[in-house]
Amino acid sequence: MFIIRPRPARSSCAAQLFAGAAVLALSAGVVRAEAPDDTVDEVIVTGSIVGSQMAALQQQRAADNLVNIVAADNIGQFPDQNSAAALARVPAVAVQRDQGQERYLQVRGAPNRWTSVSIDGITVIGVDEAGGQRAFRFDAVPAVILSALEVNKSLTPDLSAESVVARVNLRTLSPFDRPGFSASADLGLGEMDLGGGKQEQYSARVSWSDERWGFAAAASHYLREQTTDNREFDYDAAGVASAIDVRNYLVERENNALMGTIEFRPADGHSVFAKSLYTEFNDDEQRNQYVFQIGSAASGVRGASRGDLVGVPVRGSFNYGKYRNWNLINTIGGDHQIGGWTTSWRVNQTETENTTDLPLVLQQYSSSSVALRPSLSYDLSDPNLPVITLFGTVPGATAGSFARGAPLAALNQGNFNQNLVLPLTSAVTSESWIYKADATRALQWNGQEVEVSFGAQYDDRQIDGAILSGVAPPVAIFALFPTVGLSFNPGAYVTDRPWDSGFPRGFDVNYVDNERMTADIRSGLAALQTAGRYDPSVNTAPSDRYSIEEKLLAGYGMAKFRAGPAEVVAGLRVERLDQTIQGFVTAGAVVTPLKVENDDTQLFPSLNAKFELSEDLLLRLAAQRAISRPSFGTVRTGASVSDVNEVVSGGNPLLEPEKTWGLDASLERYLPGAGLVSVGAFYRHVDNVLFNSTTVVGDDRYNAGGINRSGYDYTTTLNGDDGKLYGLELAYLQQFVFLPAPFDGLGVQGNLAFLDGEFQTPDGRTAPFPGTSNTIVNASVYYEKHGLSARLSYQWRDDWVDTLSLVGYGDQYRKAYESLDLSVRYALNDRFSVFVDANNLTDETYIAYEGDENHPSEVEQIGSRWMAGFRFTY
């Protein structure tokens, strides 16, 4: 329940819930604004879903720009373990998943690099595996440590310009959110349907504040043990399968977070604070993989849907990979009222690290061992789920020929006669210092009040890393083990545990004990290193390493004023980036250091206008210029050179940033019963779209040793031609308070986005932006009354291009998928409640395909999952 007491001059106000996570309206605002006098006089909150939205609603009605907000308490009303899952319920927001778990955001269908991220207003630059993109990994930030999530879809000059389609701000807890002492704790346990792995979740928050001092702390832990069933495919130029890849993963993923803050208010109008936040994402994966290379069979018939083959090469691949991502964010700051000025300052130090440690064991048959290889028939009548029947391979009727032998029930996992280990590693570290100051004052100009704001920011970043590298040792590592008294046979690690699988196979196969195998490999490598027979430093090629220093100086000025019926925020932001990129170029056995220095100064004007057409009808218009800078791994100077083939492969330190002009519009109609109907539209024109391609070097940067390489082929990332992205966003939500009891506890929330866009590739064709689904749907039905809070939430996005391919059968697509989740909460009393969450009730299968749906490239399933637990609140 909630009670709104309006001012006498107004007969209604808008309270809203939004798209599954109680998102507020397509248009909302930055939180610095105060609520207008004509919205709400007093809000008395007694309900978990509706009540927690009222404060956010006040922020929206006073908004300067277009923003969606996920309110604090409602994050806990959904089965969302990380911030990406919670943000996926915002209009026109989709997520990129890794093995079913939300990781990156794609706002308005744009590439994830076009969305920037801040935590408590401080910019955070993400580093993923190998630093391939600047995109922030949301799976490293648990949702329960946050007080709110904001998706700014239009910019004001005080926000970073590195936000083509959106800037997401994650707001953490403040001790002054609730006066006095407060505490809450959650405990949940559950199970993954596929494989029966466990889920566990624990979190706690505590805060205390009086008129001067405030303290807050929070901790969170989430763990899931999942089985991932996976099939992958390769195709020849005719579109006939050339390889069938059968995989199964045992995965343990863990999120942990700690936060602490202290705030002091020495006098009215003055506040200083110190806050520290640590988040980590740990991913341990045991991968079991067998690739049937049907395109290289000794003989037989290979068709599009069926085949009978003799002597098929099989490659086994096994690893126990450890992926780590952590962020440490320390901020001190203050807010002060001085002589009519409202001022704020922040000093932030952020460290991030992303590492991959992946000792990869490969098993295969030598080219002369056809008799050891299995023969097989395959059935691809369902192209997503191949069924393989295995047979032995026996001598044929003529000398040197082979034929299909007796049927085999299981794959012989110990029959390989070639073994290899590749110690794949990568590490990317980033440290940044940010200094930020802002000042705002209300002035009188021509008889009206004008609010002017100024600010400056200086970012100093250092990024050191390497793309994922696996250099084959000059001597097979396993061959060196006997020199230190060790022996190694990968076949000895095959267990008697069959794969947990929801997909058909046609043959039996057991798990390999990758954890024990990897531990033995590490022990062997350590012994070899001690004996001087192995040098781990050679695992990463010099051309894969990079070091980047960035210094960004930004300043802005803006004014907020009335122009006729409109409230306008207009201004200009200036950013100058100085960048130094260092790496190595490898040509044959010669390694040469290379340094490139770039500088760039850009102007970013923006305009936001809000028209209150009536007490229940609001129109917003916005225009802006923004930028997206290339990722660290993309601009590395490192490159490898083949003088035999006259090819250079590597980064491109001379890339231009992507630049955009954008327009936004939103019309909101507020309805009785905490309802809203809204429609929004946007358009982005983008210059210098980034694209992977091959061109000619064209300059002397790789010339060395008297060799002119300016005319070599250059495989790298390039700037394409112009592109455009546009869309329409619709939203409807309403609580049916006008229905008779008990039906007045019912409500619906939904949003629908229609998106489209394209750009010109360097080869002259028109291509869609990777990640753009043409349609995104979010819908929820909820009921809240008498302590019961239940919500059934549905999400769907249609097919989208994942990777534009220059080789192979066609572009890589991701097939449409849906998600159906159920959350039920029941309050036993004012302090204790119980909950049950169920995710992926449709047991979704995630499919990628090459060119068309009859050519799947990846088919993956993790199954549904559920969790039950209780919550304590004081």
Query: Concatenated DSSP letters for 25-68?
Result: -S----TTSPPPTTT-SEEEE--SSSGGGHHHHHHHHT-SS-EE
* Helix/strand/coil (H/E/C) assignment for every residue in 796-830: EECCEEEECCCCCCCCEEECCEEEEEEEEEEECCC
> What distance in Å separates the CA atoms of residue 389 and residue 380, rounded to the nearest whole number?
12
The architecture CATH gives domain 48-535+543-873: Beta Barrel (2.40)
The pLDDT confidence band at residue 140, using thresholds 50, 70 and 90, is low
The CA distance from 167 to 118, in Å, is 7
Give the pLDDT confidence score for residue 47 in this predicted structure: 40
User: Can you give the pLDDT at residue 786?
Assistant: 87
Place of tokens 């637990």: 869
How does residue 170 score in pLDDT terms, banded at 50, 70 and 90? Answer: confident
Do residues 401 and 299 make contact, with C-beta atoms less than 8 angstroms apart?
A: yes
Question: Which pLDDT score, from 0 to 100, does residue 692 have?
Answer: 67
Cα–Cα distance measured from residue 670 to residue 14, given in angstroms and rounded to the nearest whole number: 6
Provide the terminal-to-terminal Cα distance of the chain, rounded to the nearest Å: 19
pLDDT tens by residue, 551-603: 999 999 999 999 888 999 999 999 999 999 998 887 777 888 989 999 999 99
Reference 253, options 328, 323, 355, 327; nearest CA is 323
When mean pLDDT is compared over 325-339, 419-433, 533-547, 740-754, the highest value belongs to 325-339
* Predicted local confidence at residue 4, as pLDDT: 29
Distances (CA, A) of 219 to 201, 230, 259, 593: 11, 34, 6, 44
Which pLDDT score, from 0 to 100, does residue 300 have? Answer: 95
> What is the residue extent of each domain of the chain?
48-535+543-873
Q: Tokens 């305009």 map to which residue?
A: 607
pTM for this prediction: 0.84
Please check whether residue 204 is in contact with residue 124, taking contact to mean a CB–CB distance below 8 angstroms.
no
The answer to whether 376 touches 429, Cβ cutoff 8 Å, is: no
**Percent residues over pLDDT 70 in the chain:** 85
- Kind and range of the H or E element at 448? strand 448-466
Burial of 787 per CB tally in 10 Å (0-12, 13-18, 19+): middle
Token pair, residue 842, equals 């449709």
User: CB atoms < 10 A from the CB of 398, how many?
Assistant: 8
Q: Which pLDDT score, from 0 to 100, does residue 543 have?
A: 80
Tell me the average pLDDT of the chain: 83
- Which one, of 157, 344, 319, lies nearest residue 247 by Cα? 319
Residue 823 makes CB contacts below 8 A (sequence gap 6+) with 77, 78, 79, 789, 790, 791, 793, 835, 836, 837, 838
Does residue 279 contact residue 255 with C-beta atoms inside 8 Å?
yes
- Residue 516 backbone dihedrals phi, psi, to 5 degrees: -70, -40
**Tell me, what DSSP letter sits at residue 129?**
G
Distance between CA atoms of residues 637 and 654, nearest Å: 9
- Of 63-67, 408-412, 833-837, the range with the lowest mean pLDDT is 63-67
Report the distance separating Cα 855 and Cα 849, nearest Å. 6
pLDDT tier, 515 (very low <50, low <70, confident <90, very high otherwise): very high
* Residue in the block written with tokens 């890849």: 245
- Tokens read off for 46: 């007694």
Instruction: Give the integer Cα–Cα distance in Å for 821 and 428.
Output: 35
Burial call 500-535: b when 16+ CB within 10 Å, e when fewer: bbebebebebebbbbeebbebbeebbebbeeeeebe
| pLDDT at position 768 | 83
Closest alpha carbon to 76 in 687, 639, 827, 767: 827
How many Å apart are CA 838 and CA 818, to the nearest integer?
A: 14
Given a cut of 60, whether residue 7 has pLDDT beyond it is no
- Cα–Cα–Cα angle for 536, 537, 539, nearest 5°? 70
Given a cut of 50, is residue 16 above it in pLDDT? no
- Give yes or no for a contact between 25 and 61, defined as CB atoms under 8 angstroms apart: no
- Region 433-443: mean pLDDT is 96
Task: Identify the pLDDT of residue 89.
Answer: 63
Query: What 3-state DSSP class applies to 85?
Result: helix
Distances (CA, A) of 421 to 315, 345, 359, 490, 774: 13, 52, 7, 10, 43
Q: What is the pLDDT of residues 705-717, one digit of tens each?
A: 666 778 777 777 7
Cα separation, 786 vs 828, whole angstroms: 10
pLDDT of residue 809: 58
Phi, psi torsion values for 145, nearest 5 degrees = -90, 0
What is d(CA 49, CA 599) in angstroms, rounded to the nearest whole number?
A: 49
Whether 770 contacts 755, CB under 8 Å: no
**CA 419/CA 488 separation, integer angstroms:** 10
d(CA 123, CA 239): 45
Say which residues have a Cβ less than 8 Å from residue 645's Cβ, sequence separation at least 6: none
Question: Tens digit of pLDDT for each residue in 334-388?
Answer: 999 998 999 999 999 999 888 888 888 888 888 788 999 999 999 999 999 999 9
Length of the chain: 874
Mean pLDDT of 159-183: 88
Count of alpha carbons within 13 angstroms of residue 211, beta-carbon side = 4
Which pLDDT value is given to residue 28?
31
Query: Which residues pair with residue 29 across a beta bridge?
Result: none
